[in-house]
């Protein structure tokens, strides 16, 4: 076992902290759907990878930076999410949780195969200079994309918090999450609110997908890995807690980064999943289970 120096530990902590912002952003949509619709969306990773593929081809076709392309990519993926929820998931809600869960699993498999047909199984990377450039902060260096992703996470989480807490739509979302029957009685169009929430979740996943596609290579099946990471983040942050998702992402990023510095990069995923299982067993409400949407 390698014991890192003080500088190496500082670098692992800082990189993990910033990487946690990207983890949180890729898990935000999963947390939204779970918290409002009470659905475990097993197709979440495919929405994320769809965003990555669209960001990749946006750059190839237009030459415009994919971060600017988010104004197109995110609404397109959100539109796909709206259609999926309204026409594939909404009719199943009254039949219990299992049909919706199995449907999202089927959509995940269908999505992966469609990606292979449309985009091939080749691995890709959204090639930008800031994707591999490092910045010096004191004695340590961090990838610039980690800083960009963390800043984006703060902006997106702040915007979602304001939307949920200080808008009429947010009040409708909270009412639908607490008691959809009572919400419908007082005039809330619950099906429409659920579809818009799913669309918002898909759009957030697309943003995370583009940033992840700049930081790491991806292919048609990479969504499964991000789904597992998303579950770990959501469990750490508290099931369905949007506010806790950011904290959960940061915790996971730090744990994985420090663990990789101590045991080696080959144990990174193993460490993250072990932490996920331990927290799920000992504190199923999550470390930040007190946090509210």
**Residue 289 token pair:** 């289970």
For 134, which DSSP code? Answer: E
Which CATH number is 6-282's, of 1.10.3470, 1.20.120, 3.40.50, 2.60.40? 1.10.3470
pLDDT band at 291 (very low <50, low <70, confident <90, very high): very low
On average, the pLDDT of the chain sits at: 89
What is the rounded end-to-end Cα distance, in angstroms, of the chain? 40
Query: Above 80 in pLDDT, residue 293?
Result: no
pLDDT at 184: 87
Burial pattern 263-286, b for ≥16 Cβ within 10 A else e, equals eeeeebeebbeebbeebeeeeeeb
pLDDT tens-place string over residues 70-93 = 999 999 999 999 999 999 998 887
Query: Above 80 in pLDDT, residue 267?
Result: no
Mean pLDDT value of segment 125-136? 91
CB 178 within 8 A of CB 186: no
pLDDT band at 5 (very low <50, low <70, confident <90, very high): low
Specify the 3-state DSSP secondary structure of 218.
strand
* φ/ψ bin of 229: left (φ > 0), alpha (ψ from -120 to 50), beta (otherwise): alpha
Specify the 3-state DSSP secondary structure of 101.
helix
Cβ-proximal residues to 165 (8 Å cutoff; 6+ apart), any chain: 293
Closest CA to 149 of 235, 71, 211, 191: 211
Tell me the C-alpha distance between 255 and 276, whole Å.
11
pLDDT band at 4 (very low <50, low <70, confident <90, very high): low
pLDDT tens-place string over residues 7-36 = 777 888 899 999 999 999 999 999 999 988
pLDDT at 243: 79
Tell me the C-alpha distance between 121 and 123, whole Å.
7
pLDDT at 66: 95
Pairing type for strands 140-143 and 134-137 reads: antiparallel
**Residue 207 token pair:** 């943003």
Mean pLDDT value of segment 32-42? 90
Mean pLDDT value of segment 92-113? 88
Residue 127 CB neighbours (<10 A): 13
Please, what is the angle between helix 242-263 and helix 268-282, to 10°? 130
Element (H, E) at 194: helix 190-215
Query: Above 70 in pLDDT, residue 1?
Result: no
- Per the DSSP assignment, residues forming a β-bridge with 124 are 218
pLDDT tens-place string over residues 154-181 = 999 999 999 998 899 999 998 988 888 8
pLDDT tens-place string over residues 187-242 = 889 899 999 999 999 999 999 999 999 999 999 999 999 999 999 899 888 877 77
Query: Above 70 in pLDDT, residue 290?
Result: no
pLDDT at 218: 97
Tell me the C-alpha distance between 100 and 87, whole Å.
12
Query: Above 90 in pLDDT, residue 284?
Result: no
Domain boundaries, the chain: 6-282
pLDDT band at 97 (very low <50, low <70, confident <90, very high): confident
* DSSP conformation letters of 222-279: THHHHHHHHHHHHHHH-TT-HHHHHHHHHHHHHHHHHHHHHH-GGGHHHHHHHHHHHH
Burial pattern 7-30, b for ≥16 Cβ within 10 A else e, equals eebebbbbbbbbbbbbbbbbbbbb
pLDDT tens-place string over residues 227-249 = 999 998 998 888 777 778 999 99
CB 148 within 8 A of CB 21: no
Give backbone dihedrals phi and psi of 143, rounded to 5 degrees, phi first. Answer: -60, 135
């Amino acid at each position: 076992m390698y014991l890192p120096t003080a500088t190496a530990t500082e670098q692992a902590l800082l990189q993990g902290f910033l990487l946690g912002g990207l983890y949180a952003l890729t898990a935000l949509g999963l947390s939204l759907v779970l918290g409002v619709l009470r659905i475990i969306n097993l197709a979440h990773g495919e929405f994320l990878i769809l965003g990555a593929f669209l960001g990749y081809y946006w750059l190839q076709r237009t030459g415009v930076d994919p971060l600017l392309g988010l104004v197109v990519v995110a609404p397109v993926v959100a539109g796909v999410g709206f259609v999926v929820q309204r026409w594939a998931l909404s009719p199943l809600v009254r039949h219990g949780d299992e049909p919706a869960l199995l449907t999202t699993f089927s959509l995940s498999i269908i999505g992966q195969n469609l990606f292979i047909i449309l985009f091939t199984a080749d691995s890709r990377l959204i090639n930008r200079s800031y994707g591999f450039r490092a910045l010096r902060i004191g004695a340590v260096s961090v990838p610039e994309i980690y800083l960009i992703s963390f800043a984006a996470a703060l902006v997106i989480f702040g915007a979602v918090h304001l939307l949920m807490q200080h808008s009429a739509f947010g009040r409708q979302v909270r009412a639908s999450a607490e008691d959809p029957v009572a919400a419908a009685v007082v005039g809330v169009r619950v099906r429409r609110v659920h579809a818009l929430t799913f669309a918002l979740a898909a759009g957030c996943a697309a943003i995370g997908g583009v940033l992840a596609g700049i930081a790491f290579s991806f292919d048609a099946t990479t969504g499964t890995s991000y789904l597992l990471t998303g579950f770990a983040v959501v469990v750490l942050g508290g099931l369905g807690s949007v506010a806790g998702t950011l904290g959960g992402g940061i915790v996971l990023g730090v744990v994985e980064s420090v663990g990789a510095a101590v045991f080696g990069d080959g144990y990174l995923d193993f460490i993250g999943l072990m932490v996920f299982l331990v927290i799920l067993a000992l504190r199923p409400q999550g470390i930040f289970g007190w946090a509210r949407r």
